[in-house]
Amino acid sequence: MSRKTENSLPSVTDSAAFFIDFDGTLVEIAPRPHLVEVGPEVLDLLRGLSARLNGAVAILTGRPLATVDGFLSPLTLPAGAEHGAVRRDAEGMVHRDFEADAMTKVGEALQVLADEHGELELERKESSVALHYRQKPELGEIAREAVYKAIEGKPDFHVMDGKMVLEVKVEGLDKGLALEAFMSETPFAGRVPIMIGDDVTDEYAFAAANKAGGISIKIGEGETIAQYRTDRAGFMNWAKAFADAGR
Ligand SMILES: O=P(O)(O)OC[C@H]1O[C@H](O[C@H]2O[C@H](CO)[C@@H](O)[C@H](O)[C@H]2O)[C@H](O)[C@@H](O)[C@@H]1O
Protein backbone atom coordinates (compact mmCIF):
# COMPACT_ATOMS: atom_id res chain seq x y z
CA MET A 1 0.00 0.00 0.00
CA SER A 2 2.93 2.35 0.40
CA ARG A 3 3.90 5.07 -2.03
CA LYS A 4 5.98 8.19 -1.60
CA THR A 5 4.13 10.51 0.74
CA GLU A 6 5.21 14.16 0.94
CA ASN A 7 4.71 16.52 3.84
CA SER A 8 4.32 19.97 2.29
CA LEU A 9 0.85 20.40 0.82
CA PRO A 10 0.43 21.26 -2.88
CA SER A 11 -0.94 24.47 -4.32
CA VAL A 12 -4.52 24.30 -5.53
CA THR A 13 -6.38 26.15 -8.27
CA ASP A 14 -9.99 27.15 -8.87
CA SER A 15 -10.43 24.00 -10.95
CA ALA A 16 -10.29 21.80 -7.85
CA ALA A 17 -13.11 19.83 -6.22
CA PHE A 18 -12.74 19.12 -2.51
CA PHE A 19 -13.81 15.83 -0.90
CA ILE A 20 -13.43 15.99 2.86
CA ASP A 21 -13.80 13.32 5.50
CA PHE A 22 -15.60 14.29 8.72
CA ASP A 23 -14.28 12.52 11.87
CA GLY A 24 -10.57 13.05 12.41
CA THR A 25 -10.33 15.52 9.51
CA LEU A 26 -12.93 18.28 9.85
CA VAL A 27 -13.33 17.56 13.57
CA GLU A 28 -11.03 16.10 16.20
CA ILE A 29 -11.68 12.54 17.37
CA ALA A 30 -13.79 12.58 20.55
CA PRO A 31 -14.29 9.90 23.23
CA ARG A 32 -17.75 9.07 21.89
CA PRO A 33 -19.42 9.72 18.50
CA HIS A 34 -21.95 12.29 19.75
CA LEU A 35 -19.26 14.30 21.57
CA VAL A 36 -17.45 15.76 18.56
CA GLU A 37 -17.32 19.53 18.42
CA VAL A 38 -17.78 21.50 15.23
CA GLY A 39 -16.22 24.91 15.71
CA PRO A 40 -17.32 28.00 13.74
CA GLU A 41 -14.01 27.83 11.85
CA VAL A 42 -15.16 24.55 10.27
CA LEU A 43 -18.41 26.03 8.94
CA ASP A 44 -16.56 29.13 7.81
CA LEU A 45 -14.02 27.00 5.92
CA LEU A 46 -16.71 24.93 4.19
CA ARG A 47 -18.62 28.07 3.18
CA GLY A 48 -15.43 29.67 1.84
CA LEU A 49 -14.36 26.59 -0.14
CA SER A 50 -17.82 26.09 -1.53
CA ALA A 51 -18.06 29.72 -2.64
CA ARG A 52 -14.64 29.64 -4.28
CA LEU A 53 -15.24 26.32 -6.05
CA ASN A 54 -18.76 26.98 -7.25
CA GLY A 55 -20.18 24.33 -4.91
CA ALA A 56 -17.66 21.59 -5.71
CA VAL A 57 -17.19 20.56 -2.07
CA ALA A 58 -18.52 17.27 -0.70
CA ILE A 59 -18.29 15.53 2.65
CA LEU A 60 -17.33 11.84 2.49
CA THR A 61 -18.11 10.21 5.82
CA GLY A 62 -19.04 7.01 7.61
CA ARG A 63 -21.71 8.92 9.51
CA PRO A 64 -25.39 8.85 8.59
CA LEU A 65 -26.49 11.77 6.40
CA ALA A 66 -28.81 13.22 9.06
CA THR A 67 -26.06 13.09 11.69
CA VAL A 68 -23.53 14.94 9.59
CA ASP A 69 -26.19 17.47 8.56
CA GLY A 70 -26.95 18.03 12.24
CA PHE A 71 -23.30 18.67 13.03
CA LEU A 72 -22.80 21.00 10.05
CA SER A 73 -26.12 22.85 10.36
CA PRO A 74 -27.11 25.24 8.83
CA LEU A 75 -25.02 23.95 5.91
CA THR A 76 -26.43 21.17 3.73
CA LEU A 77 -23.58 20.06 1.50
CA PRO A 78 -23.29 17.35 -1.11
CA ALA A 79 -22.30 14.25 0.86
CA GLY A 80 -21.37 10.61 0.54
CA ALA A 81 -22.59 9.28 3.91
CA GLU A 82 -22.32 5.81 5.47
CA HIS A 83 -19.04 5.22 3.61
CA GLY A 84 -20.65 6.18 0.31
CA ALA A 85 -23.79 4.03 0.56
CA VAL A 86 -26.07 7.06 0.93
CA ARG A 87 -25.16 9.90 -1.42
CA ARG A 88 -26.74 13.34 -1.69
CA ASP A 89 -25.78 15.02 -4.92
CA ALA A 90 -25.34 18.75 -5.50
CA GLU A 91 -29.01 19.11 -6.44
CA GLY A 92 -30.09 17.58 -3.14
CA MET A 93 -31.21 14.24 -4.55
CA VAL A 94 -30.39 11.30 -2.26
CA HIS A 95 -29.18 8.02 -3.84
CA ARG A 96 -29.32 4.72 -1.93
CA ASP A 97 -28.00 1.55 -3.51
CA PHE A 98 -28.61 -1.21 -0.96
CA GLU A 99 -31.46 -3.25 0.47
CA ALA A 100 -33.21 -1.38 3.26
CA ASP A 101 -33.08 -4.22 5.79
CA ALA A 102 -29.65 -5.53 4.80
CA MET A 103 -28.06 -4.84 8.17
CA THR A 104 -30.99 -5.56 10.51
CA LYS A 105 -29.89 -9.04 11.63
CA VAL A 106 -26.24 -8.03 12.06
CA GLY A 107 -27.36 -5.05 14.16
CA GLU A 108 -29.60 -7.25 16.30
CA ALA A 109 -26.81 -9.75 16.97
CA LEU A 110 -24.33 -7.03 17.95
CA GLN A 111 -26.91 -5.23 20.08
CA VAL A 112 -26.96 -8.27 22.38
CA LEU A 113 -23.22 -7.87 22.98
CA ALA A 114 -23.48 -4.08 23.44
CA ASP A 115 -26.25 -4.62 26.02
CA GLU A 116 -24.01 -7.07 27.90
CA HIS A 117 -21.03 -4.68 27.94
CA GLY A 118 -22.06 -1.13 28.73
CA GLU A 119 -18.74 0.28 27.49
CA LEU A 120 -19.40 -0.94 23.95
CA GLU A 121 -21.41 1.47 21.84
CA LEU A 122 -23.37 0.30 18.82
CA GLU A 123 -24.33 2.77 16.10
CA ARG A 124 -27.03 1.41 13.84
CA LYS A 125 -27.22 3.25 10.54
CA GLU A 126 -29.31 2.71 7.41
CA SER A 127 -26.79 0.49 5.63
CA SER A 128 -24.09 -0.26 8.20
CA VAL A 129 -23.40 -0.80 11.88
CA ALA A 130 -20.45 0.44 13.93
CA LEU A 131 -19.37 -1.24 17.15
CA HIS A 132 -17.21 1.17 19.17
CA TYR A 133 -14.81 -0.03 21.88
CA ARG A 134 -12.96 3.25 22.59
CA GLN A 135 -14.44 3.35 26.12
CA LYS A 136 -12.74 0.04 26.96
CA PRO A 137 -10.11 -1.01 24.40
CA GLU A 138 -9.71 -4.42 26.13
CA LEU A 139 -13.12 -5.30 24.68
CA GLY A 140 -11.75 -4.92 21.14
CA GLU A 141 -11.10 -8.64 20.66
CA ILE A 142 -14.52 -9.69 21.96
CA ALA A 143 -16.07 -7.10 19.66
CA ARG A 144 -14.03 -8.34 16.70
CA GLU A 145 -15.05 -11.96 17.28
CA ALA A 146 -18.72 -11.00 17.53
CA VAL A 147 -18.60 -8.89 14.37
CA TYR A 148 -17.02 -11.64 12.27
CA LYS A 149 -19.47 -14.17 13.69
CA ALA A 150 -22.40 -11.90 12.83
CA ILE A 151 -21.39 -11.75 9.15
CA GLU A 152 -20.44 -15.42 8.80
CA GLY A 153 -21.80 -16.76 5.50
CA LYS A 154 -22.74 -13.26 4.33
CA PRO A 155 -20.35 -12.41 1.48
CA ASP A 156 -22.23 -9.20 0.78
CA PHE A 157 -20.91 -7.65 3.98
CA HIS A 158 -17.49 -6.21 4.66
CA VAL A 159 -15.77 -5.37 7.98
CA MET A 160 -13.65 -2.25 8.36
CA ASP A 161 -11.22 -1.95 11.23
CA GLY A 162 -11.44 1.76 11.99
CA LYS A 163 -10.36 3.97 14.88
CA MET A 164 -11.45 1.93 17.93
CA VAL A 165 -14.42 0.79 15.90
CA LEU A 166 -15.43 -2.20 13.82
CA GLU A 167 -17.83 -1.29 11.07
CA VAL A 168 -19.87 -3.68 8.98
CA LYS A 169 -20.88 -2.19 5.66
CA VAL A 170 -22.26 -3.45 2.39
CA GLU A 171 -19.50 -4.93 0.23
CA GLY A 172 -18.86 -2.94 -2.94
CA LEU A 173 -20.07 0.46 -1.74
CA ASP A 174 -17.34 2.79 -0.61
CA LYS A 175 -16.10 6.38 -0.55
CA GLY A 176 -14.15 5.84 -3.78
CA LEU A 177 -17.30 5.03 -5.73
CA ALA A 178 -19.04 8.01 -4.15
CA LEU A 179 -16.18 10.28 -5.26
CA GLU A 180 -16.39 8.90 -8.79
CA ALA A 181 -20.15 9.43 -8.88
CA PHE A 182 -19.73 13.06 -7.83
CA MET A 183 -17.00 13.55 -10.46
CA SER A 184 -19.46 12.60 -13.20
CA GLU A 185 -21.89 15.35 -12.21
CA THR A 186 -22.12 19.15 -12.10
CA PRO A 187 -20.43 21.05 -10.44
CA PHE A 188 -17.67 18.45 -9.87
CA ALA A 189 -17.22 17.17 -13.44
CA GLY A 190 -14.07 18.38 -15.19
CA ARG A 191 -12.39 19.44 -11.95
CA VAL A 192 -9.35 18.01 -10.17
CA PRO A 193 -10.46 15.92 -7.15
CA ILE A 194 -8.72 16.53 -3.86
CA MET A 195 -9.47 13.98 -1.14
CA ILE A 196 -8.54 14.58 2.49
CA GLY A 197 -9.06 11.94 5.17
CA ASP A 198 -7.58 10.18 8.18
CA ASP A 199 -8.86 6.60 8.34
CA VAL A 200 -8.88 3.27 6.49
CA THR A 201 -12.23 4.05 4.87
CA ASP A 202 -10.63 7.06 3.15
CA GLU A 203 -8.16 4.86 1.29
CA TYR A 204 -10.87 3.96 -1.26
CA ALA A 205 -11.36 7.64 -2.01
CA PHE A 206 -7.59 8.29 -2.10
CA ALA A 207 -7.37 5.57 -4.76
CA ALA A 208 -10.18 7.17 -6.77
CA ALA A 209 -8.61 10.64 -6.53
CA ASN A 210 -5.18 9.30 -7.53
CA LYS A 211 -6.67 7.42 -10.48
CA ALA A 212 -8.42 10.59 -11.68
CA GLY A 213 -5.13 12.51 -11.64
CA GLY A 214 -6.10 14.31 -8.45
CA ILE A 215 -4.56 14.87 -5.05
CA SER A 216 -4.82 12.73 -1.92
CA ILE A 217 -3.95 13.95 1.57
CA LYS A 218 -3.71 11.74 4.64
CA ILE A 219 -4.29 13.27 8.06
CA GLY A 220 -2.13 11.73 10.77
CA GLU A 221 -0.32 8.42 11.08
CA GLY A 222 -0.92 5.10 9.40
CA GLU A 223 -0.14 3.33 6.17
CA THR A 224 -1.66 5.04 3.17
CA ILE A 225 -1.71 5.37 -0.60
CA ALA A 226 -2.19 9.14 -0.24
CA GLN A 227 0.37 11.40 -1.89
CA TYR A 228 0.65 13.89 0.96
CA ARG A 229 0.49 13.77 4.73
CA THR A 230 -0.23 16.41 7.33
CA ASP A 231 -2.08 16.82 10.63
CA ARG A 232 -5.54 18.30 11.14
CA ALA A 233 -4.19 21.79 11.91
CA GLY A 234 -1.96 21.68 8.81
CA PHE A 235 -4.96 20.77 6.65
CA MET A 236 -7.20 23.45 8.18
CA ASN A 237 -4.59 26.20 7.70
CA TRP A 238 -3.83 25.15 4.14
CA ALA A 239 -7.50 24.92 3.15
CA LYS A 240 -8.35 28.20 4.89
CA ALA A 241 -5.55 30.03 3.04
CA PHE A 242 -6.98 28.76 -0.25
CA ALA A 243 -10.57 29.66 0.66
CA ASP A 244 -9.59 33.11 1.99
CA ALA A 245 -7.62 33.95 -1.14
CA GLY A 246 -10.86 33.66 -3.10
CA ARG A 247 -12.97 35.99 -0.95
O1 LIG B 1 -15.63 8.66 7.65
P2 LIG B 1 -15.58 9.41 8.92
O3 LIG B 1 -16.27 10.74 8.86
O4 LIG B 1 -14.17 9.54 9.44
O5 LIG B 1 -16.39 8.53 9.97
C6 LIG B 1 -15.83 7.28 10.44
C7 LIG B 1 -16.54 6.89 11.73
O8 LIG B 1 -16.35 7.98 12.63
C9 LIG B 1 -17.02 7.97 13.87
O10 LIG B 1 -16.27 7.19 14.78
C11 LIG B 1 -14.99 7.73 15.02
O12 LIG B 1 -15.11 9.05 15.59
C13 LIG B 1 -15.73 9.10 16.90
C14 LIG B 1 -15.85 10.56 17.30
O15 LIG B 1 -14.61 11.20 17.25
C16 LIG B 1 -14.87 8.30 17.89
O17 LIG B 1 -15.46 8.32 19.18
C18 LIG B 1 -14.74 6.85 17.38
O19 LIG B 1 -13.86 6.11 18.23
C20 LIG B 1 -14.18 6.83 15.95
O21 LIG B 1 -14.17 5.51 15.43
C22 LIG B 1 -18.46 7.55 13.75
O23 LIG B 1 -19.00 7.31 15.01
C24 LIG B 1 -18.70 6.39 12.81
O25 LIG B 1 -20.09 6.24 12.59
C26 LIG B 1 -18.02 6.70 11.49
O27 LIG B 1 -18.24 5.66 10.57
Cα-based angle 211, 88, 166 (whole degrees, multiple of 5): 70
Is pLDDT at 2 greater than 60 in this prediction? no
pLDDT per position as a tens digit, 156-172: 999 999 999 999 999 99
Looking at the predicted structure, is the pLDDT value of residue 4 above 80?
Answer: no
Mean pLDDT, all residues of the chain: 95
Residue 22's CB: how many other CB atoms inside 10 A? 23
Nearest-angstrom CA–CA distance, 101 and 215: 36
- Strands of the sheet with 16-20, listed across from one edge: 94-96, 86-88, 79-81, 57-60, 16-20, 192-197, 215-219, 228-230
- Between the CA of 59 and the centroid of ligand 1 the distance, in Å, is 14
| CA nearest ligand 1 atom 13, residue | 33
Q: Give distance in angstroms: CA of 152 to centre of ligand 1.
A: 24
Catalytic residue from among 14, 21, 44, 69: 21
Tell me whether residue 21 is one of the annotated catalytic residues.
Answer: yes
Answer whether residue 17 shows pLDDT above 60. Answer: yes
pLDDT exceeds cutoff 70 at 132: yes
Ligand 1 centroid–CA 92 distance in Å is 24
Please answer whether residues 6 and 229 qualify as being in contact, where contact means their C-beta atoms are separated by less than 8 angstroms. yes
Mean pLDDT of 139-158: 95
Q: How far apart are CA 114 and CA 120, in angstroms?
A: 5
What DSSP state is assigned to residue 194?
Answer: E
Q: Taking 60 as the threshold, does the pLDDT of residue 229 lie above it?
A: yes
Q: Residue 30 CA: which ligand 1 atom is closest?
A: 15
Chain centroid to Cα 216, Å, comes to 14
Atom of ligand 1 nearest to the CA of 28: 15
Please enumerate in sequence order all residues whose Cβ is within 8 A of that of 151, keeping only pairs 6 or more positions apart, or say none.
106, 157, 159, 168
Distant-in-sequence, close-in-space partners of 53: CB < 8 Å, separation ≥ 6: 14, 16, 17, 18, 187, 191
Q: Which residues contact 193 (CB under 8 A, 6 or more apart)?
A: 16, 17, 19, 179, 183, 208, 209, 212, 214, 215
pLDDT value for 246: 82
* Atom of ligand 1 lying closest to residue 167 CA: 27
Structure confidence at residue 247 as a pLDDT band (50, 70, 90): confident
**Ligand 1 site residues, Cβ closer than 6 angstroms:** 21-24, 29-33, 36, 61-63, 123, 130, 132, 134, 162-165, 167, 199, 201
Average pLDDT over residues 18-36: 98
- pLDDT 10s digits, 61-102: 999 999 999 999 999 999 999 999 999 999 999 999 888 787
36 CA from centroid of ligand 1 (Å)? 9
pLDDT at residue number 66:
98
Lowest-pLDDT choice from 85-94, 98-107, 145-154, 204-213: 98-107
**Domains with residue ranges and CATH for the chain:** 16-97+173-245 (3.40.50.1000), 104-170 (3.30.70.1020)
Confidence of residue 1 (pLDDT cuts 50, 70, 90): very low
pLDDT, mean of residues 190-197: 98
Predicted-assembly ipTM surpassing the 0.85 threshold: yes
